[in-house]
Amino acid sequence: MEGKTVLITGASSGIGLCAARELSKMGARVLLACRDRARGEAAQAAIARAGGKGPTELLLADLSSQQSIRALAAEVARTQPRLDVLVNNAGAVNGRRELTVDGLERTFATNHLGYFLLTNLLLDLLRRSAPSRIISVASKADQGGKIDFNDLMGERRYVGIRAYCTSKLCNVAFTFELARRLEGSGVTAVAVHPGSVASNFGMVGGGFLGTLAKLARPFQITPEQGADTIIWLASLPDASAHHGQYLERRKPIRSVRQAYDTAVQRRLWEESERLTGLSAAAAAG
C-alpha cells in the first residue's frame, strides 16, 4: 500500500479505526474523516502506537450535513494528487425521527445520502487514480429494509430499526447502480457486510436501540474481524473481479430482491441526485 492514499469515513473507532490502522501499517497514506477532533486525534495516536508506517491526516466532517460533505470532498480534491480507495463507513442509527440541518431524516441522510454525495463528488479524482476502488459498508440488516419512494423521509411512519435496515438496503442498491455506471472506468465498486461487530455503534443514543445493542454485544465479533474484508479489498493488487459484488468474509452474499431491481436502483439514484442537489451531469454516468 506504499504510495496509495485511502480515505475512510467514520475512522475514529470500530471497524473504521481498525481498517485505518492496518492500512497505515501497510504503508498507505490514510485520511481519517471524523466528526470530532479529539476522537480523531486519539485515533491518529492509536495508529502511531500500533506501528503505523504511512502518514495519517485528520479531516473533520459531519456526514449528516451536505455542506460538510462538500467541504470534505473539496479539501481532498484540492490537497490530494490521487485517491486510491474510498471507504464509505460512517453511519448512524436513531431511535427517534430527527432531521438534519438540511431538513432530511437523519438515518437516511447519513447512511445513504452521505455515501452517495461524497462518492459522486470524488469520482473525478478516483477515475484519475484508477485502478481505484470504492468500498461501501452495508449490513445484513438490509434483510429487514424496504425502500418506499413515497416515504423516504419516514414522515408517515418512523421505526428506528426499520429506517436503519432500509438505509443499509440503499447502500447495496446504490453500489449495484454505481458499479453499472462505472463499468470500464477502472474504478471498482463493492459493498461489504462486516458482520455484527462489538463497537460503540448503536449504543450512544440509549433508549430501546441502545439496550438491544448492549444485549447483543456478547455475541458479536471484534472490530478487527469486522474490518478484515475491508482491509483485504483495499489492499488487493487487483480488486476488479469483485466489481459490483456484495461481500461478507471475502465471499459474495445475496441481498433482498429489491436491491437487484434495476428500476429501484435507478430511481434511488435519481431521488438521491434530487435530495443532494447533484445534477445528472455531475453524478456518475
- Tens digit of each residue's pLDDT (9 = 90 or more) over 263-281: 999 999 999 999 999 975 4
Residue 161 cell numbers, joined: 430499526
Which residue among 115, 158, 164, 260 is the active-site one?
164
Task: Please confirm, yes or no, whether 164 is among the known catalytic residues.
Answer: yes
Is 27 a member of any domain? yes
Give the pLDDT score at 202: 44
Of 92 and 238, more confident: 238
| HSE-up of residue 127 (Cα within 13 Å, Cβ side) | 15
What pLDDT score does 195 carry? 75
Residue 283 inside a domain? The answer is no
**The pLDDT of residue 257 is above 50:** yes
Q: Is residue 284 part of a domain?
A: no
Q: In terms of residue numbers, what domain contains 75?
A: 5-276
CATH number at residue 142: 3.40.50.720
Query: pLDDT tens across 186-217, in order?
Result: 999 999 999 765 544 443 444 444 544 443 44
Contacts 24+ apart (CB under 8 A), 95-104: 95/160, 95/205, 95/207, 95/208, 95/209, 95/210, 96/158, 96/160, 96/207, 97/154, 97/158, 97/160, 97/163, 100/64, 100/65, 101/64, 101/65, 101/67, 102/65, 102/66, 104/153, 104/275
- The answer to the question of residue 155 being in a domain is yes
Rg of the chain on CA atoms, in Å: 17
pLDDT in tens, 149-170: 999 999 999 999 999 999 999 9
The rounded mean pLDDT for the chain is 91
Confidence band of 285 (pLDDT split at 50, 70, 90): low
Q: Is residue 133 part of a domain?
A: yes
Q: How confident is the model at residue 282 (pLDDT cuts 50, 70, 90)?
A: low
Residue with the bigger pLDDT between 180 and 208: it is 180
Q: Is residue 285 part of a domain?
A: no
* Interatomic CA distance for residues 210 and 203, integer angstroms: 4
Report the pLDDT value the prediction gives residue 197, as an integer from 0 to 100. 54
- Over residues 99-145, the pLDDT tens digits come to 999 999 999 999 999 999 999 999 999 999 999 999 999 999 999 99
Q: Quick one: average pLDDT of 222-235?
A: 93
List for the chain the helix, strand, coil content (%; round to 5). Answer: 50, 15, 40
Interatomic CA distance for residues 65 and 251, integer angstroms: 33
**pLDDT > 90: percent of the chain:** 84
Q: What is the pLDDT of residue 223?
A: 81
pLDDT tens for residues 50-71? 999 999 999 999 999 999 999 9
Cα–Cα distance, 268 to 84 (Å, whole number): 26
Structural domains of the chain, count: 1
What is the pLDDT at residue 92?
87
Q: Which of 204, 225, 201, 203 is nearest to 214 (CA)?
A: 203
- Decide if pLDDT at 36 tops 80: yes
CA of 224: how far to CAs of 18, 107, 112, in Å?
Answer: 6, 25, 24
Model pLDDT, residue 284: 56
Neighbour-count burial of 180, counting CB atoms closer than 10 A to its CB (0-12 exposed, 13-18 middle, 19+ buried): middle
Average of per-residue pLDDT across 74-95: 95
Q: How far is CA 27 from the centre of its chain?
A: 22
